[in-house]
Structure 1
């Protein structure tokens, strides 16, 4: 009897200990892009991970500044565990040793990923596009803008229009408006004459621009009627049009560029292993698809795309019907030239 009671007691202690460990699991701090993007990740991915593992996810928002990660690492005061970064920032952060290299044990076979969605230090959090969006109450049917040249045509389309307040994305749009083909974009932009040409186009439209620096601000400008057309990230427009029933549409055939953001684990993070465990779970196709089922950005894993309903997949920039009008942002170009072009853009904006 004594042996039996000891066994029962030991089992009870073990159960209590494991229960306490699960309930007191250290949270993983995940830093994303905020707003409805974060909400889609919470509802479609992170809540499911917590339910499965007992590990809480603490969500924070940022603007993708790799300098913040660098400052935390240099100060020895790291508060981020996992961050979503744009491709140029991924290149810089990985090269500087700020992010943990990922092995196939974490990500799965690289052959199962779409081109450009897997990096030495990251796995795609989303594939997005910057597009031409407009108010369908103002521009109906054939009267709607159909090109970036239309966007720049303030006589045919009078009033204010929104543009993202940075060189990247904006310079490409300016050159498309001036007739540069997407496949020639970085040949042109890599020359001093090409950069001057882009800024000359911005000179033409500057008095008619309302600049935005966050997606929420860009949408608010459309909502208020301050602008009736704007560049925008595609999923935010789709969300507003379908889920919020707002009169917005995307001119996909105007042409667009698309890019990939990546999840990365900060090297030396307080919960570095927890972050790696999270990305290993996220890299399973059905878990990756949880985000894209709720938000109109593409996935990394090919199999994940197959799990998205066909009617919703048609809203993604990576859908065949849209991709014919798109081209990829040149990450190598922006890694090399971003600092100089953003400085020139800031100086131009201040004039």
Structure 2
């Protein structure tokens, strides 16, 4: 929830300045590289440059908050705007590394999906971990629930599973009948953790573990597994660009995570970066990325600016969003170390 802070109050002058043309600036924007950056350049940054006097200088990183911290502490800041995972934005905001953003900049909070707006960040993309399957390999019985994923008698074949507790225990509980919006309530109890591991035990002999998305895609492509948990954009890429006959069981329920744009406090072009965030926060501008890449947006209204064909692949679409629940960052900050240790020990049994 966004709250008023002394620094936020100090942004009044900046907001006023946004109503008049700002001096042209070279805004250094730091993203995730590869096709993600390419989609942002074509769908968002080129449009911004065409509508303003500013230019975008693109850099890439791996989301290391320590890099922002070092720049701010040394006073030698080269980043203006960074795309960071939601937990990093939360930590960086608390440390004063990022600029707080008012609703005048981001638009109304109630127009965003839960978890896609933070006091210091606006969703750059929303991604989901979904149940993906090979339509040709499931014998005409396509899965519609995580219970189907765990039912190896009804749908024979191996299952791909991410080899870590986070993102996997949630799916196990959904497979055991827990609604997505109740998963963390159950997982917060010792009995709930036991229940998740017991569900994984039930198909242990049918699991092919993966650690990278490349492995997961290869396992499904080769026929080693008939279904797998996987990040939604990788499924869409294989369908659209490689001709795979794969499906996503959106109605089974899924969890989504968010990366966020955050303005670095004291950045050389802080004012222009805030102007960019304000521009980007308009639904039609957020949609520029999702039209080219199968990750969703923060603002619900952005769906109005994406084609029906592309909406089919977005976790934030009106059709899919009701089946999705945000990953609980606070839960994993508190419990990740213990649960990953237990998961590692369980794998070794």
TM-score over 0.5 (shorter chain): yes
List runs of 5+ in structure 1 lacking aligned partners: 1-20
Report what 1:55 is aligned to: 55
List runs of 5+ in structure 2 lacking aligned partners: 1-22
| Equivalent pair of 1:147/1:251 in contact (CA under 8 Å) | yes
Give the structure with the larger helix fraction.
1
Please report how far the alpha carbon of residue 325 of structure 1 lies from its aligned counterpart in structure 2 after TM superposition.
3.0
Please report how far the alpha carbon of residue 51 of structure 1 lies from its aligned counterpart in structure 2 after TM superposition.
4.1
**1:34-49 matches, cutoff 5 A:** 34-49=33-48
My pick for the range that moved more, 161-170 or 341-350, is 341-350
**How many residues end up aligned between the 2 structures?**
326
| Equivalent pair of 1:28/1:274 in contact (CA under 8 Å) | no
Please report how far the alpha carbon of residue 28 of structure 1 lies from its aligned counterpart in structure 2 after TM superposition.
0.8
Give deviations 1:215-265, integer Å, cap 9, x for gaps. Answer: 344323333434331111223312321343211111122222233332112
Report what 2:17 is aligned to: none
**1:27-176 matches, cutoff 5 A:** 28-32=28-32, 34-52=33-51, 53-62=53-62, 64=63, 66=65, 69-70=68-69, 80-141=79-140, 143-176=141-174
Given the superposition, is the C-alpha separation of residues 240 and 111 from structure 1 closer, same or farther in structure 2, using an over 3 Å criterion? Answer: same
CA distance in structure 1 between the aligned counterparts of 2:54 and 2:259, rounded to whole angstroms: 27
CA distance in structure 1 between the aligned counterparts of 2:206 and 2:266, rounded to whole angstroms: 46
1:312 matched to 2:310: yes
**1:1-351 matches, cutoff 5 A:** 26=26, 28-32=28-32, 34-52=33-51, 53-62=53-62, 64=63, 66=65, 69-70=68-69, 80-141=79-140, 143-269=141-267, 271-349=269-347
Q: Give the secondary structure class of the aligned counterpart of 2:128.
A: strand
Q: Which has the larger radius of gyration?
A: 1
Q: Give the secondary structure class of the aligned counterpart of 1:315.
A: coil
Give the TM-score of the pair, scaled to structure 2.
Answer: 0.79
Give the TM-score of the pair, scaled to structure 1.
Answer: 0.79
